[in-house]
């Protein structure tokens, strides 16, 4: 029956202590292509006992293996080798990512190139002595004071489904550079590209036990990983509700936590902004990957005089976006990741109508019969929204743009900060000083000025507020996987005679 599937990753698909294995209860799970509802693969479904075994394997590799004690050159070589293998297998993995997530092949290829760039960036950082410590001048010639940055230990990495390969790689690459060992748990909705990546990591020569992989549900496997003693760090990207549960469980074990919990990201457009690039960026910012992007610019905040014109142009352009199977080169955006997720997005669209926002385009399933079998949902715009509406405040994680208007700069900033999240924001204006002023006032982890959605491996990524804490990418992304130790060496030890008798009787 497996042979009937269009894609079958090599099974078994769990990787524990350097060995590929099935689930301890022989459980499996189907992976579904959201473009047509077809099952594309069967993967092994781990149990809580498998999760505990994975943590034990990572613990053993951390305590006794060579990786935490490896030389910088060895770490850099492994990271570079992984990047090379990603280049080699780019097309195959891109196809897998598209089948599993629904995103277009063009997007999947970009993801894989970005992932390779992140591995290369951390290869470079792994060879930089500044990554491992610094000397401290304590002002005494006989004191040699050094702070070293050591691997934090065993890391659990839990990733979501929207950028499966990319988000888990933002965790794996710095953790390897730091000398950590780890257990990966991709989303049960999109496990395939992570299986492929772990095979490449094995091929690149990672010692047994350094990278372990378990697959399965958050409720069983994810929860077991977080609630297992012997974990030093849980790095999680996903929903707010899940993130708070993970943090609460981790607190019981005094486990360090890093959380990236999404956002409701404002895109502020002043009337003087360059028109064509503004229209283009607002459109791409919200509808790329059908809005399933944590930093999507879902909340347009536009200066009153140009609002009607901008909404009209956005609606016209949105209606022309070609929605379709990600494998079809004509498709500009794919389906939502799953049928269940489409239902959630539909509930938000219905809520927008009920809350009194004006539906300008989209808002119901496409009636093209070629899209009938997939989890498709069209670009949707709600105008005349109010800051108190739930569609303005909650992360819909779908192709839904809300529009609010402002008349003063203060009001724009107030609206831009009027969110429990704080992941990313954009401001568009021809006035450079105003751009800087507004960017400084916005409480978000990334602010784009006359651009949107871009990032760089060397620049930190993460949120303010309920978007979470901890940083990925950049030197701070490495620091997340390290802990400091202070060495204080006295080169000329002498009695200090603090006490009056000098310690004699």
Six-digit token pair at 505?
A: 């009787």
Q: Which one from 45, 97, 107, 260 is the annotated catalytic residue?
A: 260
Six-digit token pair at 501?
A: 């008798």
* Closest approach of ligand TXE to the CB of residue 40, in Å: 19
Q: Do 268 and 301 touch, CB atoms closer than 8 A?
A: yes
Q: What SS3 state is found at 298?
A: coil
The closest of 95, 86, 91 to 7, measured between CA atoms, is 95
Residues 6+ away with beta carbon under 8 Å from 48 = 220, 221, 223, 224
* Closest approach of ligand TXE to the CB of residue 159, in Å: 6
User: Would you say 222 or 352 has its CB closer to ligand TXE?
Assistant: 222
Residue 260 designated active-site: yes
User: Would you say 111 or 188 has its CB closer to ligand TXE?
Assistant: 188
* Closest approach of ligand TXE to the CB of residue 69, in Å: 30
Q: Which residue is nearest to ligand TXE (CB)?
A: 218
User: Would you say 218 or 374 has its CB closer to ligand TXE?
Assistant: 218
User: Would you say 109 or 245 has its CB closer to ligand TXE?
Assistant: 245
User: Would you say 229 or 503 has its CB closer to ligand TXE?
Assistant: 229
Q: 149: part of which helix (H) or strand (E)?
A: strand 143-151
Q: What SS3 state is found at 449?
A: strand
CA angle 81, 85, 86 (to 5 degrees): 115
List residues near ligand TXE by CB under 6 A. Answer: 158-162, 185, 187-188, 217-219, 222-223, 226, 237-239, 242, 245-246, 260-262, 294, 344, 395, 397
* Closest approach of ligand TXE to the CB of residue 245, in Å: 5
Six-digit token pair at 209?
A: 């036990």
The sheet carrying 266-269 orders its strands as: 358-361, 380-383, 400-406, 299-303, 266-269, 424-428, 446-449
User: Would you say 242 or 333 has its CB closer to ligand TXE?
Assistant: 242
Q: Do 214 and 243 touch, CB atoms closer than 8 A?
A: no
* Closest approach of ligand TXE to the CB of residue 26, in Å: 20
Strand partners, 157: 184, 235
Q: Do 212 and 57 touch, CB atoms closer than 8 A?
A: yes
Task: Please state at what angle helix 304-319 crosses helix 275-287, rounded to 10 degrees.
Answer: 60
User: Would you say 131 or 265 has its CB closer to ligand TXE?
Assistant: 265
Q: Do 452 and 265 touch, CB atoms closer than 8 A?
A: no
- 315 alpha-carbon distance from chain centroid: 29
Q: 393: part of which helix (H) or strand (E)?
A: helix 390-393
Q: 258: part of which helix (H) or strand (E)?
A: strand 256-260
Q: Enumerate the active-site residues.
A: 260
């Amino acid at each position: 029956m497996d042979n009937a599937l269009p894609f079958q990753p090599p099974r078994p698909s769990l990787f524990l202590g350097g060995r590929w294995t099935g689930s301890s209860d022989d459980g499996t799970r189907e992976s579904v292509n959201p473009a047509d509802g077809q099952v594309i693969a069967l993967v092994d479904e781990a149990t809580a006992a498998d999760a505990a075994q994975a943590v034990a394997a990572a613990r053993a590799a951390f305590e006794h293996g060579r990786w935490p004690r490896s030389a910088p050159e060895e770490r850099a070589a492994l990271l570079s080798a992984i990047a090379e293998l990603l280049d080699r297998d780019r097309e195959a993995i891109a196809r897998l990512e598209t089948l599993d997530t629904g995103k277009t092949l063009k997007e999947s290829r970009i993801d894989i190139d970005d992932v390779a760039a992140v591995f290369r960036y951390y290869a470079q950082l792994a060879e930089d002595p500044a990554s491992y410590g610094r000397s401290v001048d304590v002002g005494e010639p006989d004191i040699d004071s050094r702070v070293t940055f050591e691997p934090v230990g065993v890391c659990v990495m839990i990733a979501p489904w929207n950028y499966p390969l990319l988000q888990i790689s933002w965790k794996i690459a710095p953790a390897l550079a730091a000398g950590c060992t780890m257990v990966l748990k991709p989303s049960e909705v999109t496990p395939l590209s992570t299986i492929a990546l772990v095979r490449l990591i094995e091929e690149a020569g990672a010692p047994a036990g350094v990278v372990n992989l378990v697959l399965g549900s958050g409720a069983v496997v994810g929860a077991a990983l977080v609630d297992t003693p012997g974990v030093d760090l849980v790095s999680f990207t996903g929903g707010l509700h899940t993130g708070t549960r993970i943090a609460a469980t981790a607190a019981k074990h005094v486990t360090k936590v890093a959380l990236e919990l999404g956002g409701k990201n404002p895109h502020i457009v002043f009337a003087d902004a360059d028109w064509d690039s503004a229209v283009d960026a607002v459109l791409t910012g919200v509808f790329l990957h059908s809005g399933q992007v944590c930093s999507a610019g879902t909340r347009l905040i536009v200066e009153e005089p140009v609002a009607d014109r901008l909404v009209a142009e956005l609606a016209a352009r949105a209606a022309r976006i070609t929605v379709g199977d990600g494998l079809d080169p004509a498709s500009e955006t794919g389906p939502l990741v799953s049928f269940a997720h489409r239902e959630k997005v539909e509930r938000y669209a219905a809520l927008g109508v009920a809350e009194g926002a004006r539906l300008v385009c989209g808002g119901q399933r496409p009636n093209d019969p070629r899209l009938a079998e997939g989890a498709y949902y069209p670009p949707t715009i709600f105008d005349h929204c109010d800051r108190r509406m739930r569609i303005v405040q909650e992360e819909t994680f779908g192709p839904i743009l809300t529009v609010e208007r402002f008349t003063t700069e203060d009001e724009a900033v107030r609206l831009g900060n009027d969110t429990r999240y704080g992941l990313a924001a954009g401001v568009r204006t021809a006035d450079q000083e105003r751009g800087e002023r507004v960017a400084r006032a916005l409480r978000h982890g990334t602010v784009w000025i006359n651009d949107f959605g871009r990032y760089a491996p060397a620049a930190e990524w993460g949120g303010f507020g309920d978007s979470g804490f901890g940083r990925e990418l950049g030197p701070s992304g490495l620091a997340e996987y390290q802990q400091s130790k202070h060495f204080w060496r006295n080169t000329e030890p002498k009695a200090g005679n603090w006490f009056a008798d000098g310690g004699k009787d």
